[in-house]
Amino acid sequence: MNKFSIFGQNSKSMNKPLIAPSLLSANFLELNTEIKMINDSEANWFHLDIMDGKFVPNITFGFPIIKQINTMAQKPLDVHLMIEQPERYINDFYDAGADILTVHYEAVTHLHRTIYAIKEAGMKAGIALNPHTPVECLQDIIRDVDLVLIMSVNPGFGGQKFIRQSLSKIARLKEMIVDAQTTTLIEVDGGVDTTNATDLVLAGADVLVSGSFIFKSENPQQTIIELKTLK
């Protein structure tokens, strides 16, 4: 199966949501073991959060780590940039192994140009929205993006509490996607666990990002299965 076969579908045509474990919550002293666990699991993507200490108050990892992850990962690398001026590094992230590159609406001046630069580099293009940013700001570009990432916590740190108002935001975005007759995927990141996974998918989410809930569980592979199981 082509690793991008999911694009062009949505939650109505999928039996289960895609699960993208966030490596930000992995044990980096045992990163090879954590990557193998994801490879062997029912997860669909690796989610990589890249932070610069400017756009958000935290710093994570850069190109050398992404390249090392890419040597082992057997599933697409879903790279979420929480950095200023992300357009400067598009080709670098492609060279490092990114398959999907998501930039923040709040961090880009020329959004349309940046989205097409990501596509021209050979990656799927996504836009992320902070909790305070309304989905209506994407009205003029929704047909041009492969994915919209709804932040259901304030970006910068893992382990935060899910913002419940995100559900209505996802539902509004799904209406926009349907009205635009496009197949843009909706991804959700922040406080995702088995208490809200079903509600998120019912609201319109296609991809669920989960970090600490997966990696801190006793059986991460079983936790991934439970996130996919709608109740």
HEC string of 177-200 equals: HHHCCCCCEEEEECCCCCCCHHHH
pLDDT digits (tens, 9 = 90+) for 195-220: 999 999 999 999 999 999 999 999 99
Compute the average pLDDT of residues 146-170: 86
User: Smallest Cα–Cα separation from 185: which of 133, 134, 149?
Assistant: 149
Q: What CATH number is associated with residue 174?
A: 3.20.20.70
Does residue 59 belong to any structural domain of this protein? yes
Taking the C-alpha atoms of residue 109 and residue 85, their distance in angstroms, rounded to an integer, is 8
Q: Is 199 a catalytic residue?
A: no
Above 50 in pLDDT, residue 13?
A: no
Does residue 9 belong to any structural domain of this protein? no
Taking the C-alpha atoms of residue 224 and residue 215, their distance in angstroms, rounded to an integer, is 10
Average pLDDT value for the chain: 92
- Total domains in the chain come to 1
Does residue 85 belong to any structural domain of this protein? yes
Catalytic one of 52, 78, 189, 206? 189
Does residue 8 belong to any structural domain of this protein? no
How much is the pLDDT for 1? 40
pLDDT digits (tens, 9 = 90+) for 72-87: 999 999 999 999 999 9
Catalytic one of 49, 52, 78, 206? 49
Q: What is the DSSP string of the chain?
A: --TTTTBTB-TTT-SS-EEEEBGGGS-GGGHHHHHHHHHHSS---EEEEEEBSSSSS-B---HHHHHHHHHH--S-EEEEEESSSGGGGHHHHHHHT-SEEEEEGGG-SSHHHHHHHHHHHTSEEEEEE-TTS-GGGGTTTGGG-SEEEEESS-TT-SSPPP-TTHHHHHHHHHHHHHHTT---EEEEESS--TTTHHHHHHHT--EEEESHHHHTSS-HHHHHHHHH---
Which pTM does this prediction carry? 0.93
Does residue 202 belong to any structural domain of this protein? yes
Taking the C-alpha atoms of residue 59 and residue 61, their distance in angstroms, rounded to an integer, is 7
Instruction: Quickly tell me which residue has 């490596």 as its tokens.
Output: 23
Does residue 2 belong to any structural domain of this protein? no
Does residue 4 belong to any structural domain of this protein? no
Structural domain that includes position 107: 18-228
Compute the average pLDDT of residues 134-158: 90
Token pair listed for 29: 């002293």
Does residue 99 belong to any structural domain of this protein? yes
Amino acid at 24: L
How much is the pLDDT for 8? 58
> Measured at the alpha carbon of residue 194, what is the angle toward residues 182 and 159, in degrees to the nearest 5?
95
Orientation of helix 31-40 relative to helix 63-72, angle to 10°: 50
Q: Is 146 a catalytic residue?
A: no
HSE, CB side, 13 Å, CA atoms: give it for residue 211. Answer: 21
Compute the average pLDDT of residues 58-76: 95
Q: What percent of the chain has pLDDT over 70?
A: 91
